[in-house]
Amino acid sequence: MVVEYIRYTVPIERAAEFEQAYQTASRVLDTDPHCLSYEIARGVEEPQNWVVRIEWDSVTGHEQGFRTSPGFAEFFAAVRPFFDEIQEMKHYDVRQAAPERSANG
């Protein structure tokens, strides 16, 4: 598994548009076999900052599986208006992670 982090700086007045773009794009992620999970987070102290975190089965699965899939065009069309706001878009190997906890502790 690898994690892709995409950091955006989005003007505050476009926040709702950005969220809607990823809501549309997430429909593609939900059905892609290479996408294991994802989250979209907005900065608390600096609400113009956003981080999209996507877990992929592998870099190859992301770049040669997802990006060549029929759904990629829909995904990219949704997020493309924010492409110029990307500050970073890179893959990372997870080296250590806390165990998942249940809601009851």
**CATH number for the domain including 79?**
3.30.70.100
Cβ count within 10 A of residue 103: 4
Name the residue range of residue 31's domain. 2-93
- Domain-located, residue 27: yes
Measuring CA to CA, which residue among 92, 80, 94 is closest to residue 8?
Answer: 80
86: β partners: 8
**Mutual angle of helices 15-31 and 72-79, in 10-degree steps:** 170
pLDDT of residue 86: 98
pLDDT tens-digit series, residues 48-102: 999 999 999 999 999 999 999 999 999 999 999 999 999 999 999 999 988 888 7
Is the whole model's pTM more than 0.85, yes or no? Answer: yes
- Domain-located, residue 14: yes
pLDDT of residue 101: 83
Measuring CA to CA, which residue among 31, 50, 47 is closest to residue 39?
Answer: 50
Please tell me the total count of domains within the chain: 1
- Domain-located, residue 100: no
* pLDDT at residue 15 tops 90: yes
pLDDT tens-digit series, residues 34-47: 999 999 999 999 99
- Domain-located, residue 99: no
The residues, ordered by sequence, that sit 6+ positions from 32 with a Cβ below 8 Å of its Cβ are 65, 66, 69, 71
42: β partners: 50
